[in-house]
Structure 1
Amino acid sequence: MIASERAVDSSAVRERRRRHWRYLQTQLLESHTVTAAYPWLESWVEPMRAGLAGAVDHTRRSLASLLNQAELVEAACAAALPSPKFSGAPAFVGLGTSSPWLLQEAWARWQQECAAGWSGLEAGRSTATSVLYAAFGRRRRGRAEALEGLDRLVDNWNAQARALAAQSAAFPLRPVTVDVLAIVRDSVTGREEDQLTRWEAGVIAVYQVTAHWPTGSVGLLAPSPVAAQLLRGGSLVLEAEDSDCTGL
């Protein structure tokens, strides 16, 4: 099996385990919602819930074993990078006067892909490249030069994120308490929406140290850039230790 096929297979395994883990989490969270509303069911539900909590933790550890912690930290650092300023460079002459805002869009797509995913910084490259392909359409003149120029930019963005991640290794881990959001089901269509990004799910899987399922919260002990990114997101964090040691 070639490397690309192994990568696809590994990604599929991670995705299956994530979905299974999130399904079990949602069942566990819903069981607490039910007993909070109908307390007399507690003695009947609790024995089954204890087994479900064990299955949730076992599946979490299984998923965590498939994830690369360094890539989660690098993704957090990519999300923290300030937006660069773009001007007309010779490599992008084929884009005409639109080149600055097209490069800004490529940067935004790269950063969003890195921040939401768990597959490493290179996952953002194809997303950024798609912006230029769409801009050129069927035109070929200047496209190769622009794509090469964008590759160099992405190399630089990746290097900046990895440099920040390397700097953060000297800082202590930070405790963070986050809200575990259940999968939402549309009552009409039955469609399900996971409120956690893959990066958020990966961070919880890897860095969880405690769980308090009646309130739907878990405690993490995470690298400083990861904690900082969770705080920037804002929607999950319930409590975090104040720290300005990273400057992120």
Structure 2
Amino acid sequence: MRKASSVRAVEFTLDASSLDRLCTNWSCRWPVPDDGRWPVFLDALDAVSRLGLDEEEMREQLPDEAEITEAVRLLSLGEFPDNDDDADAWERHAQARACRDDLSALWQDTQDRLVSAAEGLAACPWLHPWAEARMGAQAELAEQQRQLLTRFYAPRMLAEAAAVALLPAPAASAGTGFGIFGSEAPMVLRRVWQAWHAAARWDAKPLAQAALAAEQALHEALGRRRKGREEAEDSLVGLTAAWSEQARLLAAEQSAGRPWRLIAVRIPPRRWYPHGGGAHDPLTSWELAVVTVYQVAVDWCHGTAALWVPQGIGEQLLAAETSMEAVDLLKDADDWAAPASVLLGTWEPEPRVTLT
């Protein structure tokens, strides 16, 4: 096109009569709808075409095993190094976080392609023979990516995060250590608590990391204040440690000795902003980690997954505040001995917006 002396656009309606003009030799590979649903067909064809990675390309997308092993080791010690002055350590931790985040993005990309292709095949079933091998290869790739990603998350950490949702908000008292704020102390405590609560609940990181969010909230409230600053900071350390301990005890109380639950979730797709603005991910880090670690079956046709989870996590998945539609697959099951994939297939969630 760049070398053409001129370019002329031709517009025509995609309908049955267009087929005669486009395929004069009658060699089209698939029957094309004659009911005005050409856009559906073209969208389906595009979605399935996006599955066309060969095995070598798939392998090249995955991080190196040594890189993953080192990233898992570093992040098990914390999101950031202990020594603030060690530039090399900061760089290694940054690379480890990038490894985890890139692998997570790859997995979500694969899932999005599979769900989009499945929706297209539902609208145009005659594409199944052509798409079957591609769907199978992508499903295997998605599972391989998921297995690698599980290494970055500790199940106990996810259970403790689920318990955070049930903790009561702390009440301001004279012993809080926020006397520097005077009458504003209850408001500051509330802000600090909300920052810690959000980070501990949704970030899928050890509870100790949530203290950083609380510290940031406190420092914003302190501003340039000096007198009483150290007392407030020391008090916050004690508060976040106490909140973390409460969450650990509650997590054990929620799930210890109680049967696990089989929860089906509908994974919401990412929404891409126009003009290259990136993607909005409706899943929090905690939700994504739970799907990663506890998935035992998946149904790409409906974009659903079955998760075998501890009691506490199951209760939070079924709570209205999560962004995933979820149901208890064993609540009314006639045969609890049925495989998870069979029980998952019995759930018919509300259909997503179809291709248009």
- In the alignment, structure 1 residue 114 sits paired with structure 2 residue 200: yes
Q: Aligned equivalents of 1:197 and 1:30: distance in 2?
A: 21
Q: Which amino acid aligns with 2:182?
A: G
Kindly state the Cα deviation for residue 189 of structure 1 after the two structures are TM-superposed: 4.3
- In the alignment, structure 1 residue 238 sits paired with structure 2 residue 326: yes
Aligned to 2:132: 46
Identity within the alignment, % = 31
CA contact (8 A) 2:163 2:247 kept: yes
Aligned to 1:204: 291
Deviations 1:100-134 (A, max 9, x none): 11111111111111111111111210111111111
Q: Which of 163, 175, 185 is residue 262 of structure 2 equivalent to?
A: 175
Q: Which amino acid aligns with 1:206?
A: V
Query: Structure 1 residues 107 and 88 mapped into 2: Cα distance closer, same or farther (>3 Å)?
Result: same
Q: Which amino acid aligns with 1:210?
A: A
Q: Aligned equivalents of 2:289 and 2:125: distance in 1?
A: 33
SS at match of 1:138: coil
Give the total of aligned pairs.
242
Kindly state the Cα deviation for residue 7 of structure 1 after the two structures are TM-superposed: 5.1
Kindly state the Cα deviation for residue 234 of structure 1 after the two structures are TM-superposed: 4.3
CA contact (8 A) 2:203 2:286 kept: yes
Kindly state the Cα deviation for residue 9 of structure 1 after the two structures are TM-superposed: 4.4
Q: Which has the higher contact order (CA 8 A, sep 6+)?
A: 1
Aligned to 2:147: 61
Q: Which of 119, 122, 143 is residue 33 of structure 1 equivalent to?
A: 119
Q: Aligned equivalents of 2:98 and 2:190: distance in 1?
A: 31
- In the alignment, structure 1 residue 98 sits paired with structure 2 residue 180: no
SS at match of 2:110: helix
RMSD over aligned Cα atoms: 1.9
SS at match of 2:165: helix
CA contact (8 A) 2:283 2:323 kept: no
Q: Which of 241, 246, 250 is residue 164 of structure 1 equivalent to?
A: 250
- In the alignment, structure 1 residue 140 sits paired with structure 2 residue 223: no
CA contact (8 A) 1:88 1:99 kept: no
Kindly state the Cα deviation for residue 78 of structure 1 after the two structures are TM-superposed: 1.2
TM-score normalised to structure 2 length: 0.64
Q: Which amino acid aligns with 2:213?
A: T
Q: Which amino acid aligns with 1:129?
A: E
Kindly state the Cα deviation for residue 80 of structure 1 after the two structures are TM-superposed: 1.9
Aligned to 2:42: none
Deviations 1:139-182 (A, max 9, x none): 21111100111111111100000111222222121110001121
Q: Aligned equivalents of 2:193 and 2:311: distance in 1?
A: 24
Q: Aligned equivalents of 2:260 and 2:139: distance in 1?
A: 26
Structure 2: runs of 5 or more not aligned:
1-69, 82-88, 332-356
CA contact (8 A) 1:80 1:229 kept: no
- In the alignment, structure 1 residue 15 sits paired with structure 2 residue 101: yes
Q: Aligned equivalents of 2:174 and 2:276: distance in 1?
A: 48
Kindly state the Cα deviation for residue 187 of structure 1 after the two structures are TM-superposed: 3.0
Q: Aligned equivalents of 1:15 and 1:78: distance in 2?
A: 24
Deviations 1:8-51 (A, max 9, x none): 54433221211111111111111112212222222211210110
Aligned to 1:80: 166
Query: Structure 1 residues 176 and 67 mapped into 2: Cα distance closer, same or farther (>3 Å)?
Result: same
Runs of 4+ more than 6 Å apart: none
Q: Aligned equivalents of 2:284 and 2:147: distance in 1?
A: 18
Q: Which amino acid aligns with 1:28?
A: L
Q: Aligned equivalents of 2:176 and 2:313: distance in 1?
A: 37
CA contact (8 A) 2:267 2:325 kept: no
Structure 1: runs of 5 or more not aligned:
243-248
